[in-house]
Structure 1
């Protein structure tokens, strides 16, 4: 049986209301998706972030009269908000196993020569490689965004075996766990969100990482120690403010890798770190860049 699919543009202030309205009108399923390719980073505790431009999609039984259904949606929205809805995109879609279709969209991703991110329902393409089992999610990194991919490729292309690593803004733990699979000795993960720390902990268990290899902390609770490598995939302004703090965590001759930076912000971030680091030229993918530098002698 086919389904009627209604796609409606929304913003963060009205997306939840629109979701509720579609369910009240009999939608069998409602989903939200990014309408502008905007990355979402780790949310504040207790929040569920939405994109600035969101598309709310409702699936209805095909027995509905399409014209009548759209009229009901417009009328109900106007009664509730005293506002008009944007134009509704209407299509008929085939009946299918939606969960399986969603899973099929996510396949193993390769980063460099040695490192793969593998969804749990897939076999590892190269069993001898460093295979990080990680499933897609909304807010936490899974390797699909250029900022994360750039950091993973740096890890793959550098020797991290035996090193002490700090992953600042660890989210899902993807960068720190990748370092451990590439034989780093120990990782300290730091994040402002307790949910992110729990996600890192769960992903470590899934990847059979020994508990003593990964320690997780809220900012300020981490031990006062230096590392061979500091990774920070956050955003440009926090990276600028954190420059003295992150620099203090890198030993002489150690490396820092920074991402979450738009190409237009690269020079400002580099200048914030140049008092302590010899910075490489930015590595760019789409509009995002990765910065890396080597710590000068203290």
Structure 2
């Protein structure tokens, strides 16, 4: 069915007031989005910062009394300073199958000469290539984000036969499954999000692989001998905190792949991991970085 949406542009100081106002007016959901392309790449732990100019959208059922709702909102906004300058914009939201809407924009992606990541609902472009069939579900990792793409490019270019791998922060399982399809002999996945562990196992089955090929764990229950390769596509903050843990998981002469960090964060991470690894110059895509190191 179609929906109605009411939008208001505001600032972080009074965003909560307008969120409460929309909820009081009877909306089914409230969303926040950036109005001026001011991304927040890595907020501090425990914080949920908003953008300097934030668009708040309230979603209402089609049968909602729009006229009386706007009258209520316009009356209540006057109770805060500057409320007389605020405008509420009402729109009819087109009726769509939103799950399938994003699917129409997700296409097969090639990494290297012989490896493809393909949406599970699309025919593979090259049946003779190594094809990873993916449905990310609610977990991070489709291959479209530069951090994931940087890792996939590295995996597709390296000899992985008979190597042991840990995908730390496995998300959808895309990197761990890629390692298996490209020849790795033993792969484990670790993530703090239960939805990620579920998505990883679902994508294993989607690729005709037994769940035993990529066992998944929460960090607190994960135990492993040192392996040939650890991949961690997370964020700079956790990567710094996890440095001793990740270093211990890599055997002498083994490799470490780090991603999920911005260009300006690379030097600090290189300094941190240089305690255990000989770090190579960073590889970049857009404003994101991949770091590679070999354990001494």
Gaps of 5+ in 2: none
Farther-moved stretch of structure 1 (83-92 vs 239-248): 83-92
What are the equivalent positions in structure 2 for 1:1-298 lying under 5 Å apart? 6-9=6-9, 17=20, 20=23, 24=26, 32=31, 34-35=33-34, 36=37, 52-53=50-51, 56=57, 58=59, 61=62, 70-75=70-75, 84=83, 87-88=87-88, 98-296=98-296
Distance 1:144 1:78, change over 3 A: farther
Q: Could you tell me how far apart the structure 2 residues matched to 1:134 and 1:20 are?
A: 36
Q: Deviations over 1:190-212 (max 9, x none)?
A: 12233322221222122221233
Distance 1:8 1:143, change over 3 A: farther
- What CA RMSD, in Å, does the superposition of the two structures yield over aligned residues? 3.7
Checking the alignment, whether the CA contact within 8 Å between 2:4 and 2:61 is kept in structure 1 is: yes
Contact between 1:34 and 1:51, CA under 8 Å: does it hold in 2?
no
Cα contact 2:276–2:295 (8 A) shared by 1? yes
Measured in 1, the distance between the counterparts of 2:144 and 2:132 equals 13
SS at match of 2:240: helix
Distance in 2, Cα, partners of 1:264 & 1:163: 32
Deviations 1:168-220 (A, max 9, x none): 11122111011111121111111223332222122212222123311212224
Mark the CA change 1:98 to 1:259 in structure 2 (over 3 Å): closer, same or farther: closer
Shift, 1:161, TM fit: 2.0
Q: Partners in 2 of 1:295 and 1:199 — Cα distance? A: 31
SS in 2 for 1:228: strand
Q: What is the SS of the residue equivalent to 1:188?
A: strand
Contact 1:106 1:136 in 2 (8 A): no
- Post-superposition Cα deviations, 1:214-241, rounded to whole Å, max 9, x if no partner, equal 1212224223301111001111122122
Question: Once structures 1 and 2 are overlaid, which stretch shifts more, 254-263 or 83-92?
Answer: 83-92
How big is each residue's C-alpha offset from its partner over 1:269-296, in whole Å with a ceiling of 9 and x where there is no partner?
0011112211111111222111001122
Q: How far did 1:140 drift?
A: 2.0
Q: Equivalents in 2 of 1:73, 1:198: separation in Å?
A: 42
Conservation of the 8 A alpha-carbon contact between 1:147 and 1:290: yes
Tell me, which stretches of 5 or more residues in structure 1 are unaligned?
Answer: none
8 Å CA contact 1:15–1:56 kept in 2: the answer is no
